[in-house]
Amino acid sequence: MEYRTVGKTGIFVSNLCFGTMSFGGNADAETSKSMFKYCRDTGINFFDTADVYSGGRAEEILGECIAECRNEIVLTSKVFYPTGEGVNDKGLSRRHIINAVENSLRRLKTDRIEFYFVHAFDDNTPMEETLLALDLLQKQGKILYPAVSNWAAWQIAKALGISAKEQLARFELIQPMYSLVKRQAEVEILPLAASEKIGVISYSPLGAGLLTGKYGINKRPDQGRLLEEARYKDRYKDDNNFIIADKFSAYAEKHDVTPSSLAVAWVMSNPSVTAPIIGARNIAQLQDSLGALDIKMTPEWREEISSLSNTPAPATDRAETLLPNWK
């Protein structure tokens, strides 16, 4: 296991982060705790959760897991999505953020969260109000650093400008979607992170299972997120994603590695990514992703794998600049 610093924070984290979205849902408490222990035995010290995962149960189980090793691990959680029936039980208002962090701390049985993510963008709350609330939580020691997920690069850049101007705590960690079938982060978010020295933990390195070898144009497993959850069906419904999955599976087989291990290793090899977030429903799935640690990804190998999918157009939309004669 390698350890890297998160941006400019000086905090060292494992180069894989374990995501606990399955805790209390697709993985019962016993399985969840077994996976946590397996991660710790492997050297992972970085764990990601959110207040809405399994209705808060994921935080509760993780809180039980970390009770004896709290000072050895780095913890994240998130705020934005509805946690109740009230009109103010969601979003990024100061009211909801303050209430949400108190509830997360209680469920996690801890006095602080290292990185606290805004889970999505809130059109109804001025950015300044959200940043003031996060700055207050940092001053109180309830969070160590604000973090951001599912925002566009321009939104993150605007927030960084406000934080600098108003001398507020800035985002020190970004959590974007990133995989061989979802590469939009390469256009602006990852360059922004590198430029501003902000850490990155990317989610869905397996494309919700698409890159596990179980999917293809004419291939589907008996169960999985892409079959069971509407948002994942919509996210990956384009036939081209399944064509890429077929090509990637064949490539992994040719190189005698499991598709899951190779997909995670490909994400890990991006120098702007601090750690991919891996998730699992059971130990077998976890072991597949952890296999990435045994793969030595060379620049040439990464380029070969990248060629299996489409390079996203540059932010300027001048796609001709991607051609060899324009480089």
CA 190 to chain centre: 13
Asked if 286 and 26 touch (Cβ cutoff 8 Å), the reply is no
**Could you give the domains of the chain?**
3-175 (3.20.20.100)
Condensed to tens digits (0 to 9), the pLDDT of residues 227-266 reads 888 889 899 999 999 999 999 999 999 999 999 999 999 9
For residue 327, the model assigns a pLDDT of: 59
Task: Give the position of tokens 């590695």.
Answer: 257
Closest CA to 134 of 173, 107, 108: 173
Give dist(CA 169, CA 190) in Å, integer.
Answer: 20
Residues of the chain with pLDDT under 70: 327
Q: Is 3 a catalytic residue?
A: no
Q: What is the pLDDT of residues 156-211, one digit of tens each?
A: 999 999 999 999 999 999 999 999 999 999 999 999 999 999 999 999 999 999 99
Helices 57-65 and 94-108 pack at an angle, to 10 degrees, of 40
Identify each DSSP E strand in 6-73 by its residue range: 12-14, 17-19, 46-48
Separation of alpha carbons 246 and 217, rounded Å: 7
Q: Which two tokens stand for residue 265?
A: 């290793």
| Alpha-carbon separation of residue 65 from 17, 32, 41, 96 (angstroms) | 15, 9, 13, 26
Of the residues 38, 53, 178, 236, only one is catalytic, namely: 53
Pairing of the two strands 12-14 and 3-5: antiparallel
pTM attached to this predicted model:
0.96
How far is residue 73's CA from residue 14's CA, in Å, rounded to a whole number?
10
